[in-house]
Amino acid sequence: MSSDNLQMVTSKGARGETVLTLKGPLSINTVFKFQDAIRSDPSPVLIVDFTGVPFIDSAGLGALVGVSVTARKSGRKIAFAAMNEQARALIEMTHISQVFHTYDTIQDAEAAVVA
């Protein structure tokens, strides 16, 4: 769909970490905007809130793997939280859960990654 639109809002979480809240699909039409937002944020701890993401396609899944690997190599912590059933099923089906962890809520992600 060429009308795909991904909106992103950055805020500070309860423990001082950066939270990137997404609204819209993470798809072939939006992955570059997503990757640019992750790269441009210098925060040592970043939680990505997927509450408003209705759909992730294979390009979106690839982007998640890419930003996870890049974050790990640069010493950053990144966590993905509040994914819907479609996204969780895609991650489980492709065994990508071995590359990164997802969390049910922002609070769970904060507890796991904020020291």
Number of folded domains that form the chain: 1
pLDDT for res 115: 66
Instruction: Please report whether residue 1 resides in a domain.
Output: no
In eight-state DSSP terms, residue 97 is G
Burial of 26 (0-12, 13-18, 19+ CB in 10 A): buried
Query: What is the reported pLDDT for 36?
Result: 94
In a domain, 2, yes or no: no
Q: What CATH number is attached to the domain comprising 70?
A: 3.30.750.24
Per-residue pLDDT, 99: 85
Q: Which domain holds residue 19?
A: 7-113
Question: Which residues have C-beta within 8 Å of that of residue 43, sequence separation ≥ 6?
Answer: 17, 18, 76
Using CA atoms, how far apart are residues 86 and 15, in angstroms rounded to an integer?
29
* pLDDT tens digits in sequence order for the chain, 115 residues long: 445 799 999 999 888 899 999 999 999 999 999 999 999 998 999 999 999 999 999 999 999 999 999 999 999 999 999 999 999 999 989 988 888 889 999 999 999 988 6
pTM value surpassing 0.85: yes
Classify residue 59: in a domain, yes or no: yes
Confidence (pLDDT) at 3: 53
